[in-house]
Chain A
Amino acid sequence: MTRFVITLLVWTLISPGNGSWGGGTSWPTHTACRKEGLEVLYQSCDPLQDFGFSVDQCAKHLKPNLNIRVGIILREDIRELYLDIVLISKGASVFNYSYPICEVDLPKFSFCGRKKGEQLYYAGPMNNPGFEIYEGKYQVLLELYNEKRTTLACANATVICS
C-alpha cells in the first residue's frame, strides 16, 4: 500500500502537463520521396507546427526545376519571405544558400503577401539546377522566415543516396 502511494505521488509530481507548449515534443519524420536508391526524409524543427512537403521526381540525377508540393498554415504575415538552406555532410557545413522568395516590390509568387492564419499550398517548380547526388548521407536544414526574422517553417531533412 505504502509503496503504491509513493509511486503515485512521484508520478503525479513529475508527470508533465500536456499543454501545447509543454516542450520536448518533436514532430514525426515524414518521407518526401523514396525511389531508386534515393530517400529524402524530413522532420519539422519548428516547435509550433508540422507541415507537408513532397517532391514529384525522385532520382539520383536531380532534374532542374523540380516540382514540389508544400502545404502549411502561416503563423505570420509573409510580405517578405526568405529561404535559408544549409547542407551538412559529415558534420560540417558544406553549402549555405539564402534565397528571397517574396519581396515587397512586385512579388514573384501568388502566395506572397498572405496573412497570418491563412493557408498556403504551393504546387509547382522549384528554381533548382540539375545535378548528380553522390552516394552518402546528407543533412539539409531548411528555414523559411519573414521580414521580422520570425521562422515560418523549419525542416531538418536527411538525404540518403545509396
Chain B
Amino acid sequence: MTPPWRLAGTLIPAMAFLACVRPEGWEPCVEVVPNITYECMERNLYKIPSSIPSSAKNLDLSFNPLMFLASHSFSRFPELQVLDLSRCEIQTIEDDAYWGLNYLSTLILTGNPIQNLAPGAFSELFRLQKLVAVEINLSSLEDFPIGHLRTLKELNVAHNFIHSFKLPEYFSNLTNLEYLDLSNNKIQNIHCDDLYVLHDKSNLSLDLSLNPIAFIQPGAFNKVKLGGLTLRSNFNSTHVMKQCIQGLAGLEVQQLVLGEFKNERCVEEFDKSALEGLCNLTIAEFRLAFLDDFPEDTNGFFKCLVNVSAVSLANLYLNSLEGLPRDIKWQSLKLVKSKVNQFPTLALPSLKRYIFTTNRGATSFAEFELKNLEFLDLSRNGMSFKSCCSQSVFGTTSLKYLDLSFNDVITMSVNFIGLELLEHLDFQHSTLKQASQFSAFLSLSKLLYLDMSYTHTQVAFHGIFSGLVSLQVLKMAGNSFKDNSLSAVFTDLTNLTFLDLSKCQLEHVSPGVFDTLLRLQFLNMSHNNFVLLDVLSFNPLQALQILDCSFNKIESSEGQELQYFPSHLTTLNLTQNPFDCSCKYQSFLQWIKDQRQLLVEAKQLECAMPPDMRGMLVLSFRNATCQINKIVIIVTVVSVLVVSVIAFLVYKFYFHLMLLAGCKKYGRGENTYDAFVIYSSQDEDWVRNELVKNLEEGVPPFRLCLHYRDFIPGVAIAANIIQEGFHKSRKVIVVVSRHFIQSRWCVFEYEIAQTWQFLSSHAGIIFIVLQKLEKSLLRQQVELYRLLSRNTYLEWEDNILGQHIFWRRLRKALMDGKPRSPEGTADAENNQQETTALT
C-alpha cells in the first residue's frame, strides 16, 4: 500500500503543472464561423495554434508575438483567404513563408518591425488582391518583393519611411492595381521619370497625403491618367502648394483631392493663385477640404474649375459663393461645414446635384432657380423655410431627392406643385408646421421614401398621407397622434413595406388601421404606451416579417386572438414590457414560450406582475402552477355539487331512507290501519283523489280506514266507527271543512274520537283544514274551535309548493308513533306531544 504522503508527492507536481499550463494551450482561438473564421487576436501565441482546422478561410492572428515567419508557415491552411498578422512583432519573413496559400486574397502585415524580408517572401500568393503593409519599416518600394503579384488591386504602404516616389519597374506587371496608398511617408520630391511606369495605366488612385512634398518637377504627371490623386497636408506654404500644383500639369484625373487635415495645418494665408495651376489639368471631380484663411473674394478662384463636373468643398472658411464664372459646367456641388453667412442663391443651370449641409451660418432659406436639379440635400443647416414646397421654391420640376432634415421650422403651405417626380423626401428633426392640416403630399404619387420623424407633427387629419400610392418607407417616429390613438391614416399606402411609429405616445390602435398595408414587412411600434398586444389589428399584415413592440407597457394579449398573428413573422421584439404572469394570461405566456425562436432576447423577458413573480423570467413560467389552482377549483365545484345532490336525494327520498334505516321491521302492531279518516261525504272527492292516492300509494305506504271501503256492512254505523275506525287505527285524521261542521255524523265521529283519545290515551288527532272557515261557523263547534285555535293543524293549499309541504308534514305526523318493532308500542302521551310539536 502506497503511503499517503507519497501519493501526494506525485499528485502535487502534476496538479501544479496543470494549473500553470495556460488555457490557450488547447483552445486559444474564437471560432466565429465554424471551420471558416477563427479569431486569435492577442492570445500570446508564439506559433500558429494546431487546433485550427485546415478548412479555415479567415484567420486573425494579430497581436501575438510570432516574431518570425519561417517558410511554409501556413501550408496547413490551403483554403485561407484572409490572413491578419497585424502587430505580431515579425522581424523576419523567410522565402516561401506563404507557400501554398493559393486562395489568399488579403494579407495584413500592419505594425510589424520587419527587418529581413526575403526576396521570395511573398512567393506564390497567386490570387492576392489586397496587401496592407502599413508601418512595417519599409524604406523603399524598390526592395519590396511584390513584382509578381499580378492580381494585386490594393497596395497600402502608408506610414513607412519611403523617400523616393519612383515607382519601380515591376509596377508595369501590376496591371490590376487600382489603389496605391503612399500616405504618411517621407516623399519630398517627385521627378519626371518617377511615374514613367504609369503611362499606360488609367485607373490607379494614388494617395500621397502627409508626405512633406517640396517639389514636383513640371511634366512629372504629364500625360499620366489617374483614377484619383489625394494631396492633403503635403505642402508647408502657399508658395510650395502653388508650385507643386503647377507641377501636376498634363495630368488627367478622375478625382483630385486637395487641402489639409484639421490637425496638420501648414499652409497659412491661402491664396487663390495657389490653384492657378489647375487650369493645366483635366479633372472630373475636385474636392477641397480644411483650408484656413480662404480668400474673401472667391471671384476667380474657380476659374480653372469651370469644366469640372463635380465640386466638393468641406470645412473651408468660405463666406459666399458670389461671383462664380458664368460658363461653369458643374453638375454636382457639395458644400459642407463652410462659413457662409447666408444661403447662396446659385444660378447654375447645369447643376443636377446640390448638397449644402452643416453650414451654420445660413439661417433662412432663399428661393433659387436650378432648372435641372434632381438631387437636393439641405440638411443640418438649422435654416427656416417659410413656404414649402413647390416648383417655384427650387426652380426645378426634375427634383427626385429632397432632404430638409435637421433644420429649423419648415412651414408646409403648398402641396408640392410641380414636384411630382419626387421619390425621396426627408424632414426628420425639423419642425413641420401645418403638415397635418391638409393633404400636403397629394400630388406625390411617385414618392418612395418619406421621413417625418421627430418633426413635432400631431396627426389629426385623416388625409395627411393621401396620394402617396407608391410609398414604400414611412418614418413617423417621435410624433404624436390625436387622442394617442392610431386612426385610419394609411389607407392610400398600399405599397408600404416599412413603417416606423416608435415614440409616438400611442395607446391604442383603431380597428382597420392596417387593413390596406398588405405589403408591410417591417413595423416598429416600440417606445409607445400600449398596454395590450393587440393581435387582431396586426392580422391584415400578412407580409409582415419584423414587428418591434419593445419598450411599451404591454402586460398581455387576448389568448384566443393569438392564432390570428401574421404567419410570415420572423422577428418579434417584446423586450422591456411589464408582463403579467398571472394564470389568467396563461395562454399568452404559453404562446410566448412556443414562439421563442421568433422573439428577440426571449430569455431576458421578465414578469412585472403579480408582485410575487416580479423579476421572474417569462420562459420559466410553468403551466403546472395554474393547473394546481384549476384542480382545486374543480374539486371544490364537484364536491359542492355532490353534497347538494346528496342533500337533494336525502330530502327527496327521506321517507324511503327512514324505512331503510330504522323501520325495516315496521309493522302496524295490533292496529290494522295507520289512520282513521273522519270527513264529510261532501269532501269525498278530495279524500279519494288526494288523500288516499298520496298516502296509500306513496312511500311509505299508509293504510287508511275509510268508511266507504272498510266499514263492515250490516253492522251499525256507530259500531263500525268504534270497531273498525278507532279500535284498529293508530291515528285519526279529521278533514275539517264547512261540510264537516254542518254534517252531524262527522261531528259525532269527532266527538267520539275525542272521547276515545281521552279514554285510551292512545290515538293522536291530526287536523286537516280543507277550506278557510268562517269564525261564526266554527263557533258552532265550541270544542273544535278551541282545539284549532290552540293546536297546530294542517291546511290544504292550492299551490304545488304548499301541497308538497302539506304531504311531507302529514307523512311525518303519521310516521310518529309508528312502532319500530312489532313489540314496540307507541306512547300515547308522546304522540300527543309530537302532534302538537309540529308547530
Contact = CB atoms under 8 A, between A and B. Distances in A.
Given A116-B84, A116-B108, A118-B111, A5 B21 contact: no
A8 B158 CA distance: 54
A119 B86 contact: no
Contact of A110 (B11, B18, B132, B263): B263
Contacts of A24: none
A1 B9 CA distance: 11
A108 interface: yes
A12 B13 CA distance: 9
Interface in B1-28: 4-5, 8, 11-12, 15-16, 18-24
B377 to A, nearest CB: 12
B294 to A, nearest CB: 15
B262 A108 contact: yes
B376 interface: no
A17 B43 CA distance: 13
A149 B571 CA distance: 22
A48 B42 CA distance: 8
A15 B19 contact: yes
A19 B4 CA distance: 33
A118 B134 contact: yes
Contacts of A117: 62-63, 86-87, 108, 110-112, 134-135
Nearest to B21: A17
Contacts of B301: none
Given A21-B43, A108-B262, A115-B132, A13 B15 contact: yes
A118 to B, nearest CB: 5
Main secondary structure of the interface of B (DSSP, over half): mixed
A106 B159 CA distance: 19
Interface string A37-59: 00000000000100000000000
Interface in A3-18: 5, 8-9, 12-13, 15, 17-18
A119 B135 contact: yes
A116 B62 CA distance: 9
B268 to A, nearest CB: 16
A17 B314 contact: no
A82 interface: no
Contacts of B84: 116
A5 B16 CA distance: 12
Contacts of B261: 107-110, 112
Contact of A19 (B16, B23, B233): B23
A52 to B, nearest CB: 17
A13 to B, nearest CB: 7
B210 interface: yes
B251 interface: no
A12 B42 contact: no
A15 B17 CA distance: 12
B12 A116 contact: no
A9 B19 CA distance: 10
A73 interface: yes
Contacts of A12: 12, 15-16, 18-19
A107 B108 CA distance: 23
A115 B84 CA distance: 11
Given A9-B15, A115-B132, A106 B314 contact: yes
A124 interface: yes
Given A5-B5, A108-B290, A124-B263, A17 B23 contact: yes
Interface string A52-85: 0000000000000000000001010000000000
Interface string B677-695: 0000000000000000000
Given A106-B312, A109-B263, A8 B62 contact: no
B43 A110 contact: no
Contact of B111 (A5, A107, A119, A122): A119
A25 interface: no
Q: Which of B87, B184, B257 is packed against the most chain A CB atoms within 10 Å?
A: B87
Interface of A: 1-2, 5, 8-9, 12-13, 15, 17-21, 48, 73, 75, 105-112, 114-119, 122, 124-125
Interface of B: 4-5, 8, 11-12, 15-16, 18-24, 41-44, 62-63, 84, 86-87, 108, 110-112, 132, 134-135, 156, 158-159, 184, 209-210, 232-233, 257, 259, 261-264, 287, 289-290, 312, 314-315, 336
Nearest 4 pairs between A and B by C-beta?
A117-B86, A117-B111, A117-B110, A117-B87
